[in-house]
Structure 1
């Protein structure tokens, strides 16, 4: 199986790359900065250097030919301004979906965020002062919500993972999922395991769910999801 991950240098992405590589899969990480290629190689992935903010769907689709699944783990980053929340977190996810459809890739997993659908419409309207953290946060929520809505409209086998607050703690392998769940934390390692399990076991197809740490083994939780 070949899995291509957008945002290949992110913390979750590198954990996912190692997990998939250790499972014997071919993994490709999309990165913008060629200096990050060595880190991907250490994680067991090949680096594909391109910029999701400047490439078109037709060109990207050529790079996705032959892939079995794509993962959107990219983001503008904590220090990026409001505009890049839209051009990366929303438009990048939609671009990857467009390219996946053109390339015939029918498995798409996106890492979203909890509670994004309740964004403040007025505060999330550009232009936004990038020094206004609350307004930028609402733009981020809007970007994620609109990206997820686009993915849900597609005919391919999508999965939308909406984790709670992310930590760098060791993974527990135990989670709680739901259409909505109480606020809580989850290690990035467990989010990576969720994505890997969904792809490798073919579970949680055409589902969207929030997730935090819990008491149910990841494989069991994903097999039971109906949201």
Structure 2
């Protein structure tokens, strides 16, 4: 059994992940900012922990993470202003990575985005630009830490039923898709596999069982 804390615990991937982790016997904490979401987080089997990661300072986050075995960053501003996107998807994510190191929590899984790469081609005047730049900055910071990280980089997420099958991919020319349920299953799998550490795993829906795809 591992103690795993999910930041952004009410997210659609996070709720699915918490359910999977709790069912296999892990001790899960889901951190969420809206009090109205407490029951939904608790229904997954996770301990529901109210906390606004955007406004928490470094020391507060360090104390939140202390005693955990792993951190999953699944939070996001969810669109809206560029200022808040940078504040959550970049700044709060980076603050949490640094706090994890200070708290002695070496395992860190970042739920990111496939196209958050140099040369992504999104113009600065496009509304998606802050999100993709924020994710790229968070990834770059995580790779420079000494954390045992895994970056999960799906392309577009869907609400389709999970299949348990994915394919690893490089940066594709065309849009690719994967269900949120399968993205959650990938996160659950990498948390249990040391072979996934210090890796970026880019994936889409496919034909390979998740555990087999990740172990390659």
User: Do they fold alike, i.e. is TM over 0.5?
Assistant: yes
Partner of 1:186: 178
Matched, 1:45 2:46: yes
Please report how far the alpha carbon of residue 120 of structure 1 lies from its aligned counterpart in structure 2 after TM superposition. Answer: 5.5
Tell me if the contact between 1:181 and 1:211 (Cα under 8 Å) persists in the aligned partners.
Answer: no
Equivalent of residue 147 in structure 2, options 143, 156, 173: 156
CA separation in 1, counterparts of 2:212 and 2:171? 18
Structure 1: 5+ residue stretches without partners:
124-133
Contact 2:4–2:72, Cα closer than 8 Å, also in 1: yes
1:99 aligns with 2:99: yes
Which residue, out of 197, 200, 217, partners 2:209?
217
| Alignment-derived partner of residue 127 in structure 1 | none
Alignment of 1:175 onto 2:166:
yes
Choose 85-94 or 172-181, whichever is displaced more. Answer: 172-181
Q: Match of 2:192, SS?
A: helix
Q: Does 1:204 align with 2:184?
A: no
CA distance in 1, matches of 2:195, 2:164: 16
SS of the residue 2:200 aligns to = strand
Q: Deviations over 1:37-56 (max 9, x none)?
A: 11111011111111112111
Separation of aligned partners in 2, 1:120 and 1:51: 32
The answer to whether the Cα contact below 8 Å between 2:122 and 2:128 also exists between their aligned partners in 1 is: no
Do the aligned residues in 1 keep the contact of 2:169 with 2:204 (CA within 8 Å)? Answer: no
Q: Structure 1 length normalisation: TM-score?
A: 0.89
C-alpha contact 1:119 1:138 (8 A) present in aligned 2: no
Structure-1 separation of matches of 2:207 and 2:120: 30
Deviation of 1:84 after TM superposition, in Å, equals 1.2
Q: Which ranges of structure 2 fall in alignment gaps of 5 or more residues?
A: none
Q: Do the aligned partners of 2:150 and 2:196 also contact (CA within 8 Å) in 1?
A: yes
Task: Please give the root-mean-square deviation of Cα atoms over the aligned residues, in Å.
Answer: 1.5
Deviations 1:101-133 (A, max 9, x none): 01100000001111122345871xxxxxxxxxx
